[in-house]
Structure 1
Amino acid sequence: MDKFSSNREYLKNIIDNIPQKPGCYQYFDENNKLIYVGKAKNLKKRVSSYFNKIQDNVKTRILVNKIRDIKYIVVDTEEDTFLLENNLIKQFKPRYNIMLKDDKTYPSIVVKNEYFPRIFKTRKILKDGSQYFGPYTSVLSIKALLETIHKLYPIRTCNLRLTPESIAQGKFKVCLEYHIKRCAGPCEGLQSLDDYNKNVSEIKEILKGNISILSKTLYEEMQNLSAELKFEEAQVVKNKYELIENFKNKTTVVSNINYNIDVFNAIDDENSFYINYLHLNNGAITQAYTFEYKKKLNESKEELLGMGIIEMRERFKSNSKETVVPYYPDINLSNTTFTIPQKGDKMKLLNLSLQNVKQYKIDKLKRSDSLNPEQKNTRILKTMQKDLNLKDLPIHIECFDNSNTQGTNPVSACVVFKMAKPSKKDYRHFNVKTVEGPNDFATMAEVIYRRYHRLLEEGSPLPQLIVVDGGKGQLSVACKVLKELDLYGKIAIIGIAEKLEEIYYPEDSIPLYLDKNSETLKVIQHLRDEAHRFGITFHRNKRSKGQVTSELDKIKGIGAETKKALLKHYKSIKRMKESDIQELESVVGKHRAKLIFDYFSTRPHKI
């Protein structure tokens, strides 16, 4: 395989396992240089679109040809992808983003650090002691929020440089805003600073996301206008209400508190330790990197996290004075302090780091499984052996399910999984012979006996695990049969109750509950669903065949070949009954057509 083909396979493997989550993707060239940053509400769909079709744009085709590696950062919301993309482009200035992106900063809302503070939208973040909220991706939302705030609170909108001295000297006069009740006139000393700042404090709470008061006010206004049949005015208020509700979603990837910090989070498994690193510069994520340590000795998680912190700070030349961690690492660094947050922005960043390190582990496992399916199946079987506390690796599993209709046509199905995958050539049907009426326990006993008595007679391989679709009753009768065959204890057996996914063991009344996302439970559910599907299909076919056969067998002079010809032509007994004698004659001849027509003419038209 040439170098180009090898790289395409490498990229395809990454793309196949990218999650369908919002985030930012990064493309790197052969020198491991970042050449493009993009955002997506569905990473997998967006990244795949670059490679599964011929690009019309020449620049895009050139970009795709230069891609040698793909990395990505997952976030919580689509809004976060806009902000993260903006940060990364400004930080790294990728070649193929420069001509497509401007240097626009997303807007924030500022509460100015001044006498009688002003509150307005801005794109400039100044270190003047003012308080900033945002940034936000929707200018319309900011406009609606500020407009509503100014209606509810008499906050000044002028640019006058108010000071106690200038107000006392009477340098300013109230404007139109005062006369229309949108301002309380602090410029003439008509409103006290304490009263003004009380309003500012409530506005800050709204900007922090505590907008229940504001939402409630708008909602009541909307209802009142609707009651007065002022629907157009009510619609305007409704639009504002919906825009302001969007402010409840606070971004994780950018904060206007000027954080310059490192964030680390980690998870591990039996053989590896995974670490995610985020770096924030001026409150914005500008670096994200996830990596893995292979465990060699009995290293503690604190020791491995400490090693990762030192390596990342050195690699990315970080001099952050604060490092956010999930637990204290086993190192002492004089140039940074460690913080374990319990809530707030830093806790959200720690959770975002955890989300990314978990995604890295999942994606690495998926890539490994796709390259080596046998290794994946062996891993799943080892997980099953551990979860179900089995003596042997369940390479060969068999599952049984019974089907009947009010006791008629009882059948049973046995499906076989080998290496955690269906082995359909080994599936078996059973026509139940010794049971009359709806007796699920007796049916299970018969098919278990027939299956394993035959395997013993033939000297065929026995399974390592038997799964019975049913609760304690079905499991109990199956165990009794295994004892008769001297197989009890030699083959593991469990029962699965359908409603609550309870797993029962022999002689144990307390069920096992597996994690609903566990691979073990998924395999068992797949087994049960296959057995149910296979049994139902066989039962339906048998029932249909029985109905057709019983109808035509009652007509004297109609043999097997005639029945075959009739069913091929008519497809059903119903259509055959509704046919006229001329059509019947064209299918089976005059004599047989008369026999059939006379028979159905004396019977009610009901199948």
Structure 2
Amino acid sequence: MASEHIENKLALLPNEPGSYQMKDKNGKIIYVGKAKNLRNRVRSYFKLEHSGKTAELVKNIADFEFIVTNSDKEAFLLEITLIQKWQPYYNIRLKRGTGYPYIKISNERDPQLILVSEVKKDGAFYFGPYPNVYAAQETLHFLQKVYPLRRCNGFQGRPCLYYHMGQCLGACFREVPTSEYTVEIKKIKAFLNGNTSAVKKKLTAKMETAAENLAFEQAADIRDQIQFIDATVEKQKIISQDATPRDIFNYYVKDGWLSVQIFFIRQARLIKREKRIFAVVDDPAEEMVSFILQFYNRKNIKLPNEILVPSMLDREVLAQILQVNVKTPQRGTKKDLLDLAAKNAQIALDEKLRLMLLNDQKTTGAMQELATVLDIPVGHRIEAFDHSHTQGVDIVSAMVVFEDGMPAKKLYRKFKLKSIDHADEAAATREVIRRRYTRLLKEKAQLPDLILVDGGEIQLDAAKDVLENELDLAIPVAAMVKNDHHKTADLIKASGDEHLNLDPHSQAFMLIQRIQDEVHRFAITFHRQLHGKNTLASRLDEIQGVGPKTRQKLLSHFGSLKKINQASLEEIEALGINNKIANLIKVSIAATLRANELKK
């Protein structure tokens, strides 16, 4: 069953052609597909029964993205490009190369026309890829007949059969002048770049003549040839007509939000798309100029030869600062690509605004439900606490904050517990509650509307005691209870320690589940970081000659045994550590890591 997040996104899919990208829980693209109708195709993954690899794929989908194109064929070509770039795990059929052929003019003394599956850096000319493999094969045969290069294996002392048929320039028995090849290659390039009108006109005339002479099979063959040419060399908006590296920026504004789409065109193909959505606080055109300048003011960003932007932007300013040609196309393929970026920007923003509305409705409803079951006023802020330790060692606490049902990560806090040196849930809860709310009272900062503690009655009673008897605070508090499988099970109400028996399908329960999972994740992450540093510190303490100051230098600079082991002696000595101690550190750490590997 699809998650609520995916269900919401499925409802917003457009009835447009395009490419979709499936992502796993880590945000990694695991599958790229294409569709004539994105809404129907993507929904089919989650609404129909599947088996085998498709079922395995669906099980691992945590999210998806999509790019709208102008046609099904453009979607095909975009799919190829994205598969080449991201190498998704489940795209086995297209993982190596494209799965679709290119027509290649080889870079040789006696060049030839051949069909290949991938592009190499060999100085040859490549055209494609062509989704219709059979059409590409037939077009290649046509070109070999009309524009002869070399079709034989090279010099053999006598003319080959293809030479007698007029399909080879004669490299089999003579040294063909380079000028002859140049003439034919020029015609082939023009043909494959879309200049097919003259050839098609001749073929059409032949077809009509054959039909008039009742040679219907011949006429049908010529008709098919014309169709193959159309299928192979048809112009695509997704592919430009030249290989100039260019980036395309366009945007869409609605309800105070600015949606930006960036297309990266390399080797005449759309190889990448980025999107950004943020609140707009200034004139949208000025915001876009500022965004573009900041976009390129990053490390490892290589400027293209050309940037295309909509007419509203100040092209002169952009060109002067970036030292790149900045243009606004008025017609043709570039204009179509610019319009396509605007279309994708609008779809992306409309999707976000609808999801925001759904989330607002969902979180508002969850906060209302939670307030009702706890019999408290509807609140704005929830603060939740959890503890983590390893067999009573390295005890820490963590706090997460949810505002209007959404995590406010900038307000999260970590606590190293000072008053206890062994696992004591009640004592840990007392310390962290005391420290947190004593500080808020001193700073006269905003207090939460509800406090949640991860645990049961022990943690709940400890929190209540500190809040009511030490700090004289009347903040509602409740405990989040887990079942035997460590999953959210219920909520204990502070007054009378009453179990509320929340409906597991209710919005309130889902909100509690999100909060409990988040605070547990945050506490575990903090504990692992601290435990790792303490483990490193204890190992360094065992090395003779490493004192507190040296240990602190190593901890601050490297942070892990592995990084110290990978460091050179010069890097360790650069911290002010003499050569003898540096050598001893390297040997000791290497021995520790080897021992750890053997234990595994």
Equivalent residues of 1:262, 1:277 under 8 A apart = yes
Q: What is residue 176 of structure 1 aligned with on the other side?
A: 161
Q: Are 1:10 and 2:10 matched, yes or no? A: no
Secondary structure of 1:83's match? helix
Q: How do 1:141-540 and structure 2 match up within 5 A?
A: 141-160=135-154, 172-185=157-170, 193-253=178-238, 261-269=246-254, 271-280=256-265, 284-296=269-281, 298-299=282-283, 301-308=285-292, 310-311=294-295, 314=298, 318-322=301-305, 324-326=307-309, 327=313, 328=315, 337-340=324-327, 342=329, 347-364=335-352, 367=355
Equivalent residues of 1:111, 1:120 under 8 A apart = yes
Q: Are 1:88 and 2:88 matched, yes or no? A: no
Larger Rg: 1
Q: Are 1:126 and 2:114 matched, yes or no? A: no
Q: Distance in 1 between matches of 2:138 and 2:353?
A: 46
Equivalent residues of 2:102, 2:129 under 8 A apart = yes
Unaligned runs of 5+ residues in structure 1 are 162-170, 374-607
Secondary structure of 1:292's match? strand
**CA pair 150-340 structure 1, distance change in 2 beyond 3 A:** same
**CA pair 336-206 structure 1, distance change in 2 beyond 3 A:** same
Q: What is residue 43 of structure 1 aligned with on the other side?
A: 38
Normalising by structure 2, we get a TM-score of 0.52
**Pairwise CA distance, 1:64:** 3.0
**Pairwise CA distance, 1:275:** 0.8
Q: What is residue 407 of structure 1 aligned with on the other side?
A: none
Secondary structure of 1:293's match? strand
Unaligned runs of 5+ residues in structure 2 are 362-600
Q: Distance in 1 between matches of 2:285 and 2:58?
A: 40
For residues 245-277 of structure 1, what are the alpha-carbon distances to aligned partners after superposition, in whole Å with 9 as ceiling and x for unaligned?
223423444579766553322233462322102
Equivalent AA in structure 2 for residue 122 of structure 1: V
Give aligned pairs, total. Answer: 355
Q: Distance in 2 between matches of 1:94 and 1:198?
A: 42
Equivalent residues of 1:174, 1:185 under 8 A apart = yes
**CA pair 219-294 structure 1, distance change in 2 beyond 3 A:** same
Q: What is residue 64 of structure 2 aligned with on the other side?
A: 70
Equivalent AA in structure 1 for residue 167 of structure 2: R
**Pairwise CA distance, 1:350:** 3.2
**CA pair 14-233 structure 1, distance change in 2 beyond 3 A:** same
Q: What is residue 478 of structure 2 aligned with on the other side?
A: none
Q: How do 1:528-567 and structure 2 match up within 5 A?
A: none
Equivalent residues of 1:218, 1:237 under 8 A apart = yes
Identity of aligned residues (%): 29
Q: What is residue 138 of structure 1 aligned with on the other side?
A: 132
Secondary structure of 1:86's match? helix
Cα RMSD of the aligned pairs, angstroms, is 3.6
**Pairwise CA distance, 1:194:** 4.1
Q: Distance in 2 between matches of 1:39 and 1:68?
A: 18
Equivalent residues of 2:319, 2:326 under 8 A apart = no
**Pairwise CA distance, 1:280:** 4.4
Secondary structure of 2:230's match? helix
For residues 80-139 of structure 1, what are the alpha-carbon distances to aligned partners after superposition, in whole Å with 9 as ceiling and x for unaligned?
3233223323322333335x5441433222233444543332234233433222121122
Equivalent residues of 1:303, 1:330 under 8 A apart = no
Secondary structure of 1:97's match? coil
**Pairwise CA distance, 1:233:** 2.2
Equivalent residues of 1:260, 1:283 under 8 A apart = yes
Normalising by structure 1, we get a TM-score of 0.51
Q: Distance in 1 between matches of 2:110 and 2:21?
A: 45
Q: Distance in 2 between matches of 1:20 and 1:34?
A: 23
**Pairwise CA distance, 1:68:** 2.9
**CA pair 124-371 structure 1, distance change in 2 beyond 3 A:** closer
Equivalent AA in structure 2 for residue 306 of structure 1: S
